[in-house]
Amino acid sequence: MASTPEGPLAYLGPPGTFGEEAARRHAPDAALLPLPSHAEVARAVEAGEAAAGVLAIENSLNGSVAETLDILIHETSLPIQAELIVPVTHHLVAAPGVEAGAIETIYSHTQALGQCRAFLRERHPRARLEAALSTAHAAQLAMERAHEGAAAIATARAAGRCGARVLAEGIQDRRDNATRFVVVGARPPAPTGRDRTSIAFRFADDRAGLLAAALAEFASRGINCTKMESRPTRASMGEYVFLIDFEGHARDPRCAEALAALEAMTAHLKVFGSYPRAGGG
């Protein structure tokens, strides 16, 4: 739990999303500002309309949230202030009167659809899957299009808010499904001794051994890299931005040395932020 921010806390809305749950867990007493996309969440913080914003960044079943990674890489300089892990339980919901056997279309956020693949394949193989802006938005669509045999994958809270009923509970592929959220804001946090740092970098050219040399800067200093992946640069096919999470704060001497060495060998290095690890672990 964080201290209450001095202003609204923005999240991917409408109310009833896991983004709202993450926002409430992060700052239970904060005023909340629901927005239609993660890009709008970051924009609101940059514009001073919100003190901080909550972004989903990674799911234990479906992997990274590409939209959030691209926002951090290309669209904002807001530092990550915190992270938190939120358990995720999905339900199949529909308007009263819509039975499971009559479902023709199932709406949800693309991440939720990906986290429920086995259920959808086994129970509704012929249903058309349609992307929604969020799971709460999907529940609203299911209510509005009930006459078309619509249903949604959503939270129980979202279903209750719009009057939908739950047809099947806990339909995610694993019970221990969880999503990692990050909180972005104007002020970077001070070191705590149990931090994580997230960075992105790209090379000027493509040569054998470049990535290995970059990783060696961390390994040689005993710094544990906890995650690594890549995203397209958006400039040219086959060019990538590499992303690394590692244990430690950018101000820690060993980490600062590794980042300085990495900056010297790359065309561009961006530090998304150093922040307390979720649960202190």
Q: What is the pLDDT of residue 200?
A: 98
Other residues' Cβ atoms within 10 Å of the Cβ of residue 51: 21
Catalytic residue among 17, 68, 76, 179: 179
* Contact in structure between 243 and 69 (CB atoms under 8 Å): yes
Mean pLDDT within 50-68: 96
Is 179 tagged catalytic? yes
Residues 6+ apart with CB under 8 A from 184: 41, 42, 45, 52, 53, 55, 76, 78, 79, 80, 81, 273
Q: Where are the domains of the chain?
A: 9-88+177-185, 91-168, 195-280
Evaluate if residue 280 carries a pLDDT over 60.
no
pTM over 0.85: yes
Evaluate if residue 1 carries a pLDDT over 90.
no
User: CA torsion angle for 103, 104, 110, 113 (degrees, to 10)?
Assistant: 50
Catalytic residue among 181, 203, 242, 246: 181
pLDDT per residue as tens digits for the range 201-235? 999 988 889 999 999 999 999 999 999 999 999 88
CATH fold match for the domains 9-88+177-185 and 195-280: no
Residues 6+ apart with CB under 8 A from 205: none
Is 226 tagged catalytic? no
Does domain 195-280 fall into CATH 3.30.70.260?
A: yes
Please state, in angstroms and rounded to a whole number, the distance separating the CA atoms of residues 30 and 141. Answer: 28
Does domain 9-88+177-185 fall into CATH 1.10.3720.10?
A: no
Residues 6+ apart with CB under 8 A from 107: 130, 131, 132, 137, 138, 141, 142, 150, 151, 152, 153
| CATH entry, 91-168, from 1.25.40.10, 3.30.870.10, 3.40.50.1980, 3.40.190.10 | 3.40.190.10
Q: What is the pLDDT of residue 6?
A: 76
